[in-house]
Structure 1
Amino acid sequence: MPAWLPSIAYPPARDDGYWTPITSTLDWCEENYYATPYSAEIVNSLTNLLFIALAFRGLRNCYAHGHDRIFALTFVGYLVVGSGSFAFHSTLKYPMQLVDELSMIYTTCLMFWATFEHRRAAPVPLLLGVGTAALAVFITFYYHYLQDPSFHQNAYAILTAAVLLRSMYVMEVSIRPHYRKQHEAHVSKQESDGVSEREKQEEARKDKRDRDIVGKMWILVGTGLSVFLGGFVIWTLDNAYCSTLRKWRHEVGLPWGILLEGHGWWHLMTGVGAYFYIVWGIWLRHCLNGRQDEYELAWPSLLTSLPSVVKRKAAPPPPLPATTNGVNGHVKRMC
């Protein structure tokens, strides 16, 4: 450690913390109870505060801008994920582990249902809801029976991939003008021949608008997915090289060793990636409902701000036409 960079030595890990004994099937690379007897993994606990902050941000946005209730419910699930993970890493108790891991499954199941049921005729949404609930129950009991973390991780990955791929397909087919018009090929040639010039201009405006929207959506998806996968890579390295990372932490001391807590970075990066995905889902739903002119993505800076979907501000009314009154050439406004 450079002499000019101040640091303090790591306190020794303890096995007599407030929440002992450990009953979880997982114990991460962060050493236990070294900072306080009241939190088994202090960094892994505190990094979940980002989930909680973003959940409240998302809920406030849902209610302020009238987004579908399913997304408010999804943000509630996102809040439970962060709170459960905080409790799990603080205590390393098996019940809290279940809250952490199963809330991830349930929240993804909500997005799964919202993605696949949209615009389906009855009774498909109901049957899909029953099937999704049954899947969540099966995963719950089978995971509790196996107590194998790899089963949970695989189930979560499969559900997430299914939702992402389906959403990408729907985005392209239903919004991008080229594919949307192919999808709407049932419109007759006679109808298209009878379109006025003004209607053609409006159609061209909508096509340009939708191409811009799809382009922005891909940036949103790509950014969120990159951050999420980056967190996964760091988490994998944290698991594979735990002993080396612990050695490096002790060499650099506190607080700099905190930067080498890979599972904490996983929380921060997956929290941001999941938030991006929910925001994308909100915007996609409004576009599928034909409300592109009512909502827009507010994302002032790619690197220094987080996106949100907001109602467009009403455009100012056009100026009233001017006419002359025929006296001395003065101009009057029509009232």
Structure 2
Amino acid sequence: MRWPLPHIPYPPAKAGFWSPVTSTLNWCEEDYYVTVYSAEVVNAVTNLLFMWLGIRGLISCRRNQHDQIFSVALCGYLVVGTGSFLFHSTLKYPMQLVDELSMIYTTCLMAYALFSYRRPTGVRLVLAIALAGMAVFITLYYHYLQDPVFHQNAYALLTTVVVLRSMHTMEVTLRPRWRHSREEDRLDRQKKGLPVPSKERQHYENVRDKKILKTMWFMVVYGLSMFLGGFLIWNLDNQFCPQIRRWRHSVGLPWGIFLEGHGWWHVMTGIGAYLYIIWGIWLRHCLNKKQDDYHLHWARFWHIPEVIRITPTAQNGAARAKKSS
């Protein structure tokens, strides 16, 4: 059946400016069918989302005075998008390494941010050396094997460890019953001359932290859904590539762009990874007991969230409004 909507027939795949292909991977998007200067146009252009979000995040980190480790992580996120753009534009092996290994390095940075928090200097140094050594090992071993499955498994394992640990830290930090189980009771604190929060203050903190926790869990589920959904589409793209290519040629351009599964993987994982970094920033402020100094600005789930520092003027206004109510 002929596609009823106006369309442009797909141009044939051909050799391009960067030929020959030297990467160990070549995706379902046909090579150089739009321009001789970009091997996979959709797979390349969808990485602009990484670049935009990376720059946006860096500006936000500086403006809101977030911990420096997250600026470094966002630089890694930006490198992932840039490397992937260059890889899909050229299909050259060195660009493939930049794309894939920067994912490992950025995840290692997030692991350091998580596991080094409030650790002694010696522990932080050992952790840094261990993570750097692991990153070097993965780099060398992957270059030796040149097997993408090894990289994918290493990245999945690292990401799983970091996310699960972050979930645990979030729960024991913000869930009132877990927090209370770790704190000394009020009488012991009084005997030791430690400050004791009033019942009203404790109630306020419990309500506040439960609300934060609810939003954080929504962010976690949303981010994981984006990751897993993108992974599913990417695998379908790999498994049924011949059929999908026939569909794309049937519907023509621009409609065939929406059948580029690897491009959807970039969009969905770009959003999911950015949500994780924002989650990490917000969780760090909660660990520092600065929930009243920062808040998450996220009007709708399809908007891009941002952790914003509350100015003293805004804090005083909120306090007056609460008192008057």
Please indicate the TM-score interval, normalised by the length of the shorter structure: over 0.9
* Structure 1 equivalent of residue 298 of structure 2: 299
SS of the equivalent of 1:12 reads coil
State the SS of the aligned residue for 1:315. helix
Cross-structure match for 2:113: 114
CA–CA distance in 1 between the matches of 2:24 and 2:16?
18
Residues 1:280 and 2:279 aligned together: yes
C-alpha contact (below 8 Å) 2:2/2:250 kept by paired residues: no
Give the aligned partner of residue 308 of structure 2.
310
Higher gyration radius (CA)? 1
**TM-score, structure 1 normalization:** 0.91
The match for 1:85 is 84
Matching residue of 1:254:
253
- In the superposition, relative to structure 1, how do residues 4 and 239 fare at CA in structure 2: closer, same or farther (>3 Å)? closer
CA deviation after TM superposition for structure 1 residue 245, in Å: 0.2
Decide which structure has greater helix share. Answer: 2
Task: Name the aligned partner's letter for residue 70 of structure 1.
Answer: I
The correspondence of residues 131-146 of structure 1 with structure 2, limited to 5 A, is 131-146=130-145
Matches for 1:152-301 after TM superposition, within 5 Å: 152-184=151-183, 186-187=184-185, 189-191=187-189, 199-301=198-300
For residues 195 and 261 of structure 2, what CA distance do their matches in structure 1 show?
Answer: 60
Q: 1:290 to 1:198 in 2, by over 3 A?
A: closer
For residues 129 and 27 of structure 2, the distance between their equivalents in structure 1, rounded to whole angstroms, comes to 35
| Ranges in structure 1 where 5+ consecutive residues have no aligned partner | 320-335
Aligned partner of residue 33 in structure 1, secondary structure:
coil
The verdict on how the C-alpha distance between 1:181 and 1:315 changes in structure 2, with shifts beyond 3 A counting, is same
Deviation at 1:121, TM superposition (A): 2.0
Aligned equivalents of 1:13, 1:158: Cα separation in 2: 36
Amino acid at match of 1:8: I
> Number of paired residues?
316
From the superposition, tell whether residues 297 and 87 of structure 1 become closer, same or farther in structure 2 (CA, over 3 Å).
Answer: same
Give the partner amino acid of 2:267: L
How much has 1:176 moved relative to structure 2?
A: 1.1
Q: Deviations over 1:37-68 (max 9, x none)?
A: 00000000000000000001100110010000
Please name the residue that 1:32 is paired with.
31
| Superposition map of 1:42-61 within 5 A | 42-61=41-60
Q: CA deviation at 1:178?
A: 0.8
**How many angstroms apart in 2 are the aligned matches of 1:183 and 1:308?**
30
Cα deviation code 1:118-141 (max 9, x no counterpart): 111231111000100000000000
Query: Partners of 1:187 and 1:197 in 2: how far apart?
Result: 9
Q: Distance in 2 between matches of 1:103 and 1:168?
A: 24
Shift of 1:174: 1.5
1:13: which partner in 2? 13
Q: Cα 1:183–1:191, aligned 2, differ >3 Å: closer, same or farther?
A: closer
Q: Where in structure 2 are there 5+ consecutive unaligned residues?
A: none
Aligned CA distance change for structure 1 residues 7 and 290 (closer, same or farther; 3 Å): same
Aligned mates of 2:232, 2:189 — CA distance in 1: 53
Further displaced range: 82-91 or 222-231: 222-231
Whole-Å separation in 2 of the counterparts to 1:5 and 1:315? 58
Map Cα deviations across residues 50-94 of structure 1 (whole Å, 9 max, x no partner).
Answer: 000000110011001000000011110000000000000000000
2:121 aligned counterpart, secondary structure = coil
What CA deviation, in whole Å up to 9, does each residue of 1:256-283 have, x standing for no partner?
0000000000000000000000000000
Q: 1:183 Cα shift? A: 1.7
Name the stretch that deviates more: 222-231 or 276-285.
Answer: 222-231
The DSSP-based 3-state class of the residue aligned with 2:22 is coil
Contact 2:285 / 2:294 at 8 angstroms: preserved in 1?
A: yes
Equivalent AA in structure 2 for residue 57 of structure 1 = R
> What displacement does 1:189 show?
3.6
CA change 1:109–1:13 in 2 (3 A) is same
In percent, how many aligned pairs have the same letter?
Answer: 58
* TM-score using structure 2 length: 0.93
Look up the SS of the partner of 1:309 in the other structure. Answer: strand
Could you list the per-position Cα deviations for residues 181-214 of structure 1 after superposition, in whole angstroms to 9, with x for gaps in the alignment? 1122x44645479999981111111111111111
For 1:189 and 1:198, locate their aligned partners in 2 and report how far apart those are by CA, in whole Å. Answer: 12
Q: CA 1:196/1:81 → structure 2, altered by over 3 Å: closer, same or farther? A: closer
Structure 1's consecutive aligned runs of 4 or more residues displaced over 6 angstroms after TM superposition are 192-198
The 3 A distance-change label for structure 1 pair 112 and 197 is: closer
